Amino acid sequence: MSEIRVGLVGYGTAGAYFHAPLIHATPGLTLSAVVTRDPGRQAEVAGKYGAAGLSDVRELWERCDLVVVASPNRTHLATAAAALTAGLPVVVDKPLARTAEEGRELLRLAGERGLMLTVFHNRRWDGDFRTVRRLAGEGELGEVRRFESRFERWRPVPKGGWRETGGEAEIGGLLYDLGSHLVDQALHLLGPAREVYCESDIRREGVASDDDTFIALTHAGGARSHLWVSSVAARLGPRFRVLGSAGAFVKYGMDVQEERLRAGLPPGAPGFGDDEEDRWGILGTEEEQRFVRTEAGTYLDFYQGVVAAVREGAPPPVDPLSAIETLAVIEAARLSATQRIVVHLG
């Protein structure tokens, strides 16, 4: 079969470092066109991928078979809806939308037109999270009782850009950005949340959205998740600390795939997703413990799943309903932080 022509909307961090190289490396996909108004970026996509650089998203619909929305968060809903209305399946970078109801609107539109809709929750394919899922699934931890997860940075001086300087209208801040990943992972591992508590602050001058946030979830099965996102952590906590009835797993350091994508390493290169041995996590108790090899990170699995969904009608790699559940938790977290209450979900 001929390759699926992909139109990418946006060539900032998400488009340039994640989507474009992953699309380019996935058999069955070809990056046909990229929407970016920057002439330098238009030249880059032409030289690097042989893709047309377009200034207006309305030029895209006739040039592709699949649309990937990686533009600023505030544009996700309108751009995805326009692509679906044009009869094209869609991948949306997280967050899918501002609210769960907006997400449901997109899902209804996709359903009415019989089109695939999926969300780029790529952190499900982080090697460290795959390791946690394997250990939990194999019973190495016993009953998982507490899941601690962090995306922390030490960035006392803001970098600028809409994620930091844009307010609510931009859907900026860490809760929607990195928090989307942490909530998605927690729900994917432990199931639906029934209670949500959140503390959210703006710590740095000149920043308009949250840069230091904590979320506590109580899952339907009784387990609890404690999730941190911060740009002002001068000393970083463990990426994961998972406590179970039979033991614990502790892992420091971030998944390697983003670092390697930013360095320009092709995602299909041998060892691309392999963690270094000195960053493996530790499994066990105070009395007995051992290092555990980190599972390979596999971001390419997401786009391979997209190919199967578009060509064969397979389920999308991320069910949009799960992304909508994540948005419901984020909305509850915002309400909790504003009113200083525990929010109960149905």
- What structural domains does the chain harbor? 4-120 (3.40.50.720), 123-298+328-344 (3.30.360.10)
Tens digit of each residue's pLDDT (9 = 90 or more) over 304-334: 999 999 999 999 999 999 999 999 999 999 9
Concatenating the DSSP letter of every residue in 276-290 gives: PGGG-EEEE-SS-EE
Side-chain-facing half-sphere of 157: CA atoms under 13 Å: 0
d(CA 78, CA 83): 9
Helix axes 178-190, 127-137, angle to 10 degrees: 20
Helical ranges in the chain per DSSP H: 13, 20-25, 39-49, 76-85, 100-113, 127-137, 162-165, 178-190, 257-262, 300-312, 320-339
What one-character DSSP code corresponds to residue 256?
S
pLDDT of residue 169: 85
pLDDT of residue 172: 94
Residue 306 sits at φ, ψ, to 5 deg, of: -65, -45
pLDDT of residue 1: 59
Residues of the chain with pLDDT under 70: 1
pLDDT of residue 252: 98
d(CA 237, CA 227): 11
pLDDT of residue 167: 80
pLDDT of residue 284: 97
